[in-house]
Amino acid sequence: MNGRLLVINPNSSIKVTQGIDRAVAPLRSAAGPVIDVVRLEDGPVGIETQEDVERVVPLILQRVRETNDAAAYVIACFSDPGLHAAREVAGRPVFGIAECGVLTALMLGARFGLISILQTVIARHRRFLGTMGVNDRFAGDRAIGVKVTELADENVTFARMAAVGAALRDEDGADVVVMACAGMADYRARLADTLGIPVVEPTQAAAAMAMGRIALGW
């Protein structure tokens, strides 16, 4: 097994990029492909609006074009910016963390919920779930209501995630939840313990799928 997996964080945050790097660490092995996690230096600090999503797409496509030695790519933003264009450009497997996170959740429960950061992204998520065609398995989408740039207080962030996850479980009927944001893998196990249902960390889900596909060579 060889090759290289490029994980692209489309925002410019070093802290988020480090969080993603820690998230994918368990997938690294001496025998396996290298996993490189990079950020877009010219990307925004956080991707919140639909315009933010659109503006990072050309940067992602440029990065994919420049990195023509990668065996596969992960776009590590839950809006999956430029996913289909990147597939067209790359000619090799490209994984979006929203798509992979949701597909992984479909194996872990009958109905999944999304723990989002901001209320304003929920309409975007609905469009994306419609594109995936998985609305029959969807339980709900609730926002913790903390700005991406203000997620630093870990106690507040975790408490909000736990509260929102419990509402998805108890009021919306979710039996699995997806963290609808990159870079928060450190909370995953603790959140699963607290909620008592599986929690999907989407960057891990995507990177794991990418590693499998690199190994298979298709």
Instruction: Report residue 17: phi and psi, to 5°.
Output: -65, -40
Instruction: Rule CB under 8 A: choose which of 58, 153, 156, 193 binds a copy of itself.
Output: 58
Instruction: Rule CB under 8 A: choose which of 26, 42, 147, 150 binds a copy of itself.
Output: 26
Report how far residue 200's alpha carbon sits from residue 179's, in angstroms, rounded to the nearest whole number.
Answer: 6
95 binds a copy of itself, rule: CB under 8 A? yes
112 binds a copy of itself, rule: CB under 8 A? no
Nearest-approach distance from CB 87 to a copy of itself, in angstroms: 8
Instruction: Rule CB under 8 A: choose which of 4, 18, 22, 61 binds a copy of itself.
Output: 61
Task: Scan residues 155-174 and list those touching a copy of itself (CB under 8 A).
Answer: 173
198 binds a copy of itself, rule: CB under 8 A? yes
Piece in contact with a copy of itself (CB under 8 A), picked from 68-76, 144-152, 155-163, 184-192: 184-192
Task: Give me the sheet containing 34-39, strands edge to edge.
Answer: 34-39, 4-9, 72-75, 94-96
103 binds a copy of itself, rule: CB under 8 A? yes
What contacts 23, CB < 8 A, 6 or more positions away? Answer: 183, 185, 201, 203, 204, 207
Piece in contact with a copy of itself (CB under 8 A), picked from 14-22, 43-51, 68-76, 160-168: 43-51
179 binds a copy of itself, rule: CB under 8 A? no
Q: Contact residues for a copy of itself (CB under 8 A)?
A: 1, 26-27, 29-32, 49-51, 53-55, 57-58, 61, 82, 84-85, 87-89, 93, 95, 99-100, 103, 106-107, 109-111, 122-124, 126-128, 130-137, 140-141, 173, 175, 188-189, 192, 198-199, 201, 204-205, 207-209, 211-213, 215-218
